[in-house]
Amino acid sequence: QWYQRRVRGMSPDSVRQRLVPEDEDVPDINNIPDDERAAIDAVIARNKSTLSISTVGWMVSALMVFNYTDFLNVLVYDGRVNRGLLKIGSSLVGVNLLVGVYLVVYLSYIRNKPDWTNHTHPALIPVATLCACVGLVLCTVALWPVWGFLTLPILFTLFMGLVMLATLLPV
């Protein structure tokens, strides 16, 4: 806000002179020719890698949590799990995943609409968000008798591992 107060009422040239010293030759990024802009975009796209230390770390952590908590056997065989809440929560998370597949895969790849945010169903994203939040709360409540307060970090680590795995999918 202090910047807006100082800049208000000044001409664009005087603002530029105050922000950029006159002895520096700074290119105007708004007036780049289309061929140069395409070359810059190609370099940025080529150097943009989703594989990083944090991505690998989350996926390895999720695999370790899945293995050491015996997650699959607990979901299937443990009698302490509240099956009703788990089924409802898993269904709501599944609705979230189906909406994501529809928006990203179907609209982007099959219908060839790269800007799927301007789709014809604007209520899908809030509905998917609500389903995911309610579903994760219900899954947490359903698994709480097994791990207690460790349920939250376990589910969060598994969720982050899946999100990081999804970032590695080709776009």
Tell me: pLDDT of 27 over 80. Answer: no
Average pLDDT, whole number, for the chain?
81
What mean pLDDT comes out for the span 71-97? Answer: 95
With a cut of 60, say whether residue 14 has pLDDT above it: no
The rounded distance, in Å, linking the Cα atoms of 57 and 161 is 8
User: Do residues 92 and 135 lie in contact, with contact meaning Cβ atoms separated by under 8 Å?
Assistant: yes
Average pLDDT over residues 150-154: 95
Contacts of 63 (CB under 8 A, 6+ apart): 161
131-141 pLDDT tens trace:
999 999 999 99
Rounded to an integer, what distance in angstroms lies between the CA atom of residue 75 and that of residue 152?
15
- Distance in angstroms (rounded) separating the CA atoms of residues 169 and 171: 6
Tell which wins on pLDDT, 88 or 116.
88
Question: How many residues does this entry show for the chain?
Answer: 171
pTM across the whole model = 0.67
The C-alpha atoms of residue 9 and residue 136 are separated, in whole angstroms, by 51
